Amino acid sequence: MLLNEIVDQIPNINKCLHRGKTLIIRIDINSPIVNGKIVDDFRIRMHAYTLRVASEAGTKVVVLAHQGRPGQDDFTSLDLHKPYIEKYLEKPIKFVDDVIGPEARRQIRELREGEILLLENVRVLAEEVIEKVPEAQADTFLVRKLAPLADYFVFDGFAVAHRSQPSVVGFPMVLPSCAGPVFERELRALGAVFEKKGRGVVLMAGGAKIPDTLKAVEQLLKNGFVEKVAVGGLVGFVFAVAKHGVLNTALKQVVEQGGYLPYIDKAKQLLAKYGGQIHTPVDFAVNQNGRMDMDVYSLAQSPLDIGRLTILAFKELVDQSELVIFSGPMGYIEDERFAAGTMELLKAAARRKLILGGGHTIMAAEKAGVLDKAFHVSTGGRAFIQTIGGEEMPAVKALLTSARKFKL
């Protein structure tokens, strides 16, 4: 069954919009945070539309979301996100420093039509970061405490759709549930990629999430959903070392200190199997009296961007493609000297059907002036790639189960 046909079986948000009813909406506003400040609010902007639609329909809106993971630097209160939501909604919302306690439940009961209540970071609950089957998640404190206070559940958080967590799959087991507009758009964009069956599809994979990207590259090539892959960023560095075996004393120290050694072995395996389809950098830019390009054999320090020859080679790949999936920057885009690879390739990709994913990629696309030229901008980033690669989406299964059970 085609993905679009599956999406058609899940009720959209309109089926859950009834004046005076209480909606629990799971969104994903997990945002890049630097020095305690949100540096990219793209996801918040996208989900503000969903909240506006629900509020204007006269429903009582309860918002579930997360930021970071316990123990990570970006694990913060959602009080930080409240003014951003209000900015894009152009109206005030309520916030409670609680998720399932008496105060949260009291405020949910007292909501009026059109009001929006943002609950605290759902990951303050230990059970939220544990993955289990939906039936088990329906029996968590989160679902047992909040579901009786609501009439409907709306899932809109595509970036967590691949997590079988209580706030994702638990509520659909016990409440009539709908897909939010952000989630529905993501699924239909995925459908467009699946229909291409790899023909003319190029993945530009960069960034620093090396294990996730290696896994995604393997799955995409194995399942035939992309024809070619071009790698940059730290991922490209790992592949270049794997391909050329360039480990002089200085570079070996960089690799060991970064903990990249195990990934180099995995990259070698992928190159042995899919070498003709994986395109690696032939040169890199380093910080040496400003920007300096070096070929892979001369490299003796951490690269900060792909070099000029690699940019030209990757541009050629883009020009030969029909659809480009761009996930992760090619370099350290926070420094303009090392943003050239990302910017130039984004501009080239914008002349094709372009799908963008990931916070840093979206930031770069805005700077490059191509965000509005993209066919689709994914809120999921790596989740989008993983889903194309064949990773199951528990959220979709849970929503289909709910649709059969409650027949909205």
DSSP track, 205-262:
E-SS-HHHHHHHHHHHHHTT--SEEEE-HHHHHHHHHHHH----HHHHHHHHHHT-HH
377 vs 325: CA distance, rounded Å: 10
Q: Do residues 198 and 228 lie in contact, with contact meaning Cβ atoms separated by under 8 Å? A: no
Q: Is 68 annotated as a binding residue?
A: yes
Q: Is 200 annotated as a binding residue?
A: no
* C-alpha distance across the termini of the chain, in Å: 21
Q: Is 43 annotated as a binding residue?
A: yes
Q: Is 13 annotated as a binding residue?
A: no
247 vs 255: CA distance, rounded Å: 8
Q: Is 342 annotated as a binding residue?
A: no
Residues 6 or more apart in contact with residue 36 via CB below 8 angstroms: 76, 80
Query: Which runs of consecutive H residues, i.e. helices, occur in 19-79?
Result: 42-56
Strand-pairing partners, residue 203, are 229, 325
**C-alpha 154, offset from chain centre:** 19
Strand-pairing partners, residue 327, are 205, 357
Strand-pairing partners, residue 313, are none
356 vs 371: CA distance, rounded Å: 8
Q: Is 123 annotated as a binding residue?
A: yes
Residues 6 or more apart in contact with residue 318 via CB below 8 angstroms: 202, 204, 324, 345, 348, 349, 351, 352
Q: Sheet containing 305-306: give its strands across.
A: 291-295, 283-287, 305-306
286 vs 277: CA distance, rounded Å: 26
Q: Is 334 annotated as a binding residue?
A: yes
Q: Is 198 annotated as a binding residue?
A: no
Q: Is 359 annotated as a binding residue?
A: yes
Q: Is 101 annotated as a binding residue?
A: no
Q: Is 24 annotated as a binding residue?
A: no
Q: Is 293 annotated as a binding residue?
A: no
Q: Is 223 annotated as a binding residue?
A: no
Question: Binding site for substrate: residue ranges?
Answer: 28-30, 43, 66-69, 123, 163
- Show binding-site residues: 28-30, 43, 66-69, 123, 163, 334, 358-361
- Indicate the annotated binding residues for (2R)-3-phosphoglycerate: 43, 123, 163
Q: Binding site for ATP: what residues are annotated?
A: 334, 358-361
